[in-house]
A and B are shown apart, each in its own frame.
Chain A
């Protein structure tokens, strides 16, 4: 069965510093990968998505992620964090063509931004 591991429950970063959030997936076949962000008291919004192709994908608000098949990873990066990036970030995987195109989520990483 597919699964997603986000090893860091919480990350604290200073405003203007770089950010990397880790995501490891377990999947048999070709994965389709997503990063979602949840701002306080809101639903989830899509940051970026990966379909087979270029391993580096660009998302909104300066986020990018890199897919690595050899490491089974899909890490999220941002070069310079803004206070508005304070949120919870979820990595998710889908099996293309699966019944209902279901997503399996990691537990999320909470990002706290220091002024």
Chain B
């Protein structure tokens, strides 16, 4: 069974503070993704990674950094958190085998920036 876990599950941060959201996958997938979910927008891609040491910008990368220190771990970093970054963040992993592909999602992290 595919497994993606996220920590923390809930986080309250102050404006200007640094926030790190962590994601771990045991699927041995090369690709990992960070999304945010907001009402009226669905899920939007922030950063993604092809493997350890790589990070790529997604559709809305401004204000976010990412780090992929290993195959299993992918972090999202908010260096200077702002209230507009209050959202639910999802991590996912994915791999392609032949013609089959899907992404497996974690349970989400609810971030509130005050």
Contact = CB atoms under 8 A, between A and B. Distances in A.
Interface of A: 4, 6, 32, 34, 36, 41-46, 49, 51, 90, 94, 96, 99-103, 105-108
A99 B56 CA distance: 10
Main secondary structure of the interface of B (DSSP, over half): strand
B102 A43 contact: no
A46 B75 CA distance: 23
A108 B42 contact: yes
A44 B101 contact: no
Given A43-B108, A101-B94, A90 B31 contact: no
Interface in B87-114: 90, 92, 94, 96, 99-108
Contacts of A107: 40-42
B43 A90 contact: yes
B90 A94 contact: no
A6 B40 CA distance: 11
Contacts of B101: 32, 49, 94, 96, 101
